[in-house]
């Protein structure tokens, strides 16, 4: 199962390690000019993928997104 504090799936070939049993993962976020609403996602173990999170009435759950993922990192061009 994919952890919440892990790399996005398009980075799943990057190996990382920690010297402790409780590693700290700091996501790099870039501030944005305007805050936006983002749909919450949750892991569905039956479908084996992330799906949009819904409340008890079947309505989508949103949260305020005040940053975006950084494109800083490694880029490989083959």
The domain total for the chain is 1
Could you tell me the two tokens for 9?
Answer: 């799936």
Residue 38 and residue 61 in contact, taking contact as beta carbons nearer than 8 Å: no
Look at residue 3 and tell me if it is in a domain.
no
| pLDDT tens readout for residues 12-68 | 555 667 788 887 777 777 888 888 898 999 999 999 999 999 999 999 999 888 887
Look at residue 72 and tell me if it is in a domain.
no
| Local structure of residue 9 (DSSP, 8 states) | G
Whole-model pTM over 0.85: no
What's the confidence (pLDDT) of residue 65?
84
Domain of 27 in residue numbering reads as 9-67
Look at residue 59 and tell me if it is in a domain.
yes
Question: What are the strands, taking DSSP E only, across the chain?
Answer: 29-39, 41-44, 49-52, 62-69
What's the confidence (pLDDT) of residue 10?
55
Please give the span between the terminal C-alpha atoms of the chain, in angstroms, as a whole number.
Answer: 30
The yes-or-no verdict on residue 7 having pLDDT over 60 is no
């Amino acid at each position: 199962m994919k952890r919440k504090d892990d790399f996005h799936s398009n980075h799943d070939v990057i190996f990382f390690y920690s010297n402790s049993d409780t590693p700290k993962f700091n996501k790099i976020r870039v501030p944005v000019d305007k805050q936006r609403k983002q749909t919450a996602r949750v892991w569905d173990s039956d479908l084996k993928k992330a799906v949009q999170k819904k409340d008890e009435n079947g309505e989508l759950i949103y949260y305020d997104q005040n940053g975006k993922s950084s494109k800083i990192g490694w880029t490989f061009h083959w």
